């Protein structure tokens, strides 16, 4: 089913039954989501938004309440074997048998998926993720960063066309993060569809071409990164005056302006309606000389907050 989307979810719901300690909770509220083949797709949202529940349903770890989900055209309920063979999932939690070596762990995982010995790529995958020198060490001897790399390696043994990375760089150092993203981008160039969940929004902004944002079990945004970033028509003009200021001049009181910790005047404005030229004239009319100025564009964090936390406030 090469023409089918990587992921196709329709009206997916999940309600966890009540227990003695907690009432019933609806984690997914009729989610519709289509992820095209070949994209690096960001799935973002605050804790409790429903991301992990949706991923666990795709992985076959959680049963849906209603709706449907397909992976590369295969229904997760009626074509389970094909669906699971089409996806690799790197979980948040580092959980693996510490008494295996990395090589043994990959061979065992490949066996689970029925990969013939002649087609296994354990050595290649270990080398690509910088684990060749730890091939025969016990997993319990690996550092946290190496264990996370091994999780990615295990998800790749059956060469899945779709790879889900659930917080893959949580708790790892900067150098390892760079190595992981270099390899992920190489996988993408080879045709793998990458689905990324992360709380490091700068990663999503840098890597993803399409982003969906979840909140309270619903998709509140789903569009290209370019379109998503253009949602906020808000810019900031940063002016460095020649003079050292301790307070904002009264003649700038009608502007949405403030004095930041670096002594710069920060003026918020909307690019479609406000004139930079008029604002600069007003600064000069306040008796200030301009040493330097620059504008700041909104980033993904601004958009994310406007669609999630700001709505709750």
- pLDDT for the residue 312: 67
pLDDT bin (cut points 50, 70, 90) of residue 70 is: very high
Mean pLDDT, the chain, as a whole number?
A: 88
Q: Are 1-86+160-177+186-230 and 235-297 the same fold in CATH?
A: no
- pLDDT for the residue 295: 83
- pLDDT for the residue 20: 83
pLDDT in tens, 258-285: 888 888 998 888 776 778 888 888 888 8
Q: Residue 121: is it exposed, middle or buried by C-beta count within 10 angstroms (0-12/13-18/19+)?
A: middle
pLDDT in tens, 207-262: 999 999 999 999 999 999 888 877 766 788 888 999 888 888 888 888 888 888 88
CB atoms within 10 A of CB 88: 25
**Domain boundaries defined on the chain:** 1-86+160-177+186-230, 100-158, 235-297
Given a cut of 70, whether residue 311 has pLDDT beyond it is: no
Please name the helix (run of DSSP H) or strand (run of DSSP E) that holds residue 128, with its range, or none.
Answer: helix 122-128
Given a cut of 70, whether residue 175 has pLDDT beyond it is: yes
- pLDDT for the residue 302: 78
* Residue at token pair 């990458």: 194
Fold for 1-86+160-177+186-230, please state it.
Answer: Rossmann fold (3.40.50)
pLDDT bin (cut points 50, 70, 90) of residue 66 is: very high
pTM (two decimals): 0.79
The 290-296 sheet, strands edge to edge = 257-259, 265-269, 235-241, 290-296
Given a cut of 70, whether residue 310 has pLDDT beyond it is: no
CATH number of the domain located at residue range(s) 235-297 in this protein: 3.30.70.100
């Amino acid at each position: 089913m090469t023409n089918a989307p990587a992921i196709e979810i329709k009206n997916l719901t999940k309600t966890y039954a009540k227990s003695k300690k907690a009432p019933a909770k609806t984690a997914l509220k009729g989610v519709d989501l289509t992820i095209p083949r070949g994209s690096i797709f960001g799935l973002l949202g605050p804790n409790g938004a429903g991301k992990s529940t949706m991923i666990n349903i795709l992985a076959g770890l959680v049963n849906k309440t209603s709706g449907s989900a397909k992976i590369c055209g295969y229904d997760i309920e009626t074509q389970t074997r094909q669906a699971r063979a089409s996806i690799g999932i790197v979980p948040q939690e580092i959980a693996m048998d510490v008494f295996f070596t990395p090589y043994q762990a990959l061979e065992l995982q490949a066996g689970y998926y029925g990969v013939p010995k002649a087609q296994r790529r354990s050595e290649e995958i270990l080398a690509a993720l910088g684990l060749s020198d730890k091939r025969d060490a016990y997993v319990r001897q690996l550092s946290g960063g190496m264990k996370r790399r091994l999780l990615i390696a295990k998800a790749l043994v059956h060469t899945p066309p779709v790879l889900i990375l659930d917080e893959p760089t949580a708790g790892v150092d900067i150098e390892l993060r760079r190595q992981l993203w270099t390899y992920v981008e190489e996988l993408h160039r080879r045709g793998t569809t990458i689905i990324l969940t992360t709380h490091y929004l700068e990663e999503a902004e840098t890597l993803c071409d399409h982003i969906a944002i979840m909140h309270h079990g619903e998709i509140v945004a789903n569009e290209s990164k370019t379109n998503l970033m253009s949602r906020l028509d808000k810019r900031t003009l940063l002016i460095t005056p020649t003079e050292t200021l301790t307070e904002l001049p009264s003649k700038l009181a009608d502007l949405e302006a403030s004095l930041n910790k670096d002594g710069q005047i920060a003026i918020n404005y909307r690019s479609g309606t406000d004139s930079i030229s008029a604002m600069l004239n007003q600064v000069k009319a306040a008796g200030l000389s301009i040493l330097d100025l620059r504008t700041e564009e909104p980033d993904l964090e601004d958009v994310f907050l406007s669609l999630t936390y700001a709505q709750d406030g």
